[in-house]
Amino acid sequence: MHTSIETSASPQSVDPALAAWREVDLDAIGRNVRALADIAAPASLMVVIKADAYSHGSVEVARAAVASGADHLGVAVLEEAFELRSAGITAPVLAWLAGPGARYAEAVACDVSLAAYSCAQVEEIARAAASVGGRAQVHLKAETGMWRGGAAAGEWRELVDLAGRLQRRGTVDVVGVWSHLACADEPRSSSNDAQLRLFLDAVEVAGRAGLEPSWRHLANSAATLSRPDMHFDLVRCGLAVYGVDPLAGHGATVGLEQAMTLKGTVTHVKEAPAGAGVSYGHTYRTSTATRLALVPLGYADGIPVAPGTAVRAGWRGHPVPLAGRVCMDQLVVDVGDLPVQPGDEVTLLGPGRDGEHTVRRWSDLTGRSTYELLTGLDRRRVPLAHVRRT
């Protein structure tokens, strides 16, 4: 359930009957995109919107990103690309994860660019393109040290030679050569320079095969911010678009605004005496007489189980500790003497305006990556609302 809200965000912006929801600030997305585009220039910017735009809503984020300066969109699987095309989004889209029997013909017909990792894959793409009388736009992926998808060493030479022949036959256009960094979020890692050298070698091999791709791309969000020598023709930004620093304090970055806020409605408030054990295992005990508020969010919704009182939620600018273990579909916050009432909003994660922790702080405290925390939010149980705060 995606609910678009184009007015200023307020407590009345969302259906009060909802137990919990995600708010995504599209203006923050736009500002992040503009900042990243400026940093990447003269290279172009691809905004990565796989996994429903990291749970931010793929179609809405795609539109905001393109309007704010993104030249390309990147997705993982073809179904994500088809969703964008069905929504009327015409910007260039690259889909990079598909196996034998994939819907390549449909992708060619709706102008979706395709990644190819092997000779067998590029041949299948070429056959699909011929079946619909088109030419597939192909980005060849080189293995440079991630050891995930991509062609390595001798296989790379075979792949570019074959792709060159298919291009001359008119079934494919090799528009891109690319790879992916394993340790870009660790700027001092020697693997970054090693991967850069291998990528440059791969580009040279492609050139000797007669290929002249328009888009050479290696940099992700972290490398976009820290390695201008890796920008080439195109950079691919995901996490940074959503306002999360991919370098996690390892280097100075541009100011980014976290776009997502996770909220829940208080369903019950009660007085508790000093020494009361709260939730499973009584891992939390009240130190004084206090008030406890129940919020219908739990680990089934993607909330990680956090230790003790490490994690803070927020209520109207006041940080309040989570009290005890997160349960499957509910959690408790210790609100002290704050006048919290049933029906009030409590913020579980966000940019910090309500006193809550950011997703980066949640990551630090729980040991789960920011990617996990964002994409792990249940999209059925925690509906999505798009807001504009400016």
Residues of each annotated binding site for substrate: 148, 328
Residue 42: asked if its preceding bond is cis (omega within 30°), the reply is: yes
Three-state SS annotation for the chain: CEEECCCCCCCCCCCCCCCEEEEEEHHHHHHHHHHHHHHHCCCEEEEECHHHHHHCCHHHHHHHHHHCCCCEEEECCHHHHHHHHHCCCCCCEEECCCCCCCCHHHHHHCCEEEEECCHHHHHHHHHHHHHCCCCEEEEEEECCCCCCCCECHHHHHHHHHHHHHHHHHCCEEEEEEECCCCCCCCCCCHHHHHHHHHHHHHHHHHHHCCCCCCEEECCCHHHHHHCHHHCCCEEEECHHHHCCCCCCCCCCCCCCCCCEEEEEECCEEEEECCCCEECHHHCEECCCCEEEEEECCCHHHCCCCCCCCCCEEEECCEEEEECCCCCCCCEEEECCCCCCCCCCEEEEECCCCCCCECHHHHHHHHCCCHHHHHHCCCCCCCCEEEECCC
User: What is the separation, in whole angstroms, between the first and last Cα of the chain?
Assistant: 24
Please, what is the Cα angle at 109 between 239 and 129, to 5 degrees?
105
User: Residue 25 and residue 387: Cα distance in Å, rounded?
Assistant: 5
Decide: residue 191, CB within 10 A, 0-12 exposed, 13-18 middle, 19+ buried: middle
* C-alpha count within 13 angstroms, C-beta hemisphere, residue 211: 31
Which residue numbers belong to the known binding site?
A: 148, 328
* C-alpha count within 13 angstroms, C-beta hemisphere, residue 44: 16
Residues with catalytic annotation?
A: 50, 280
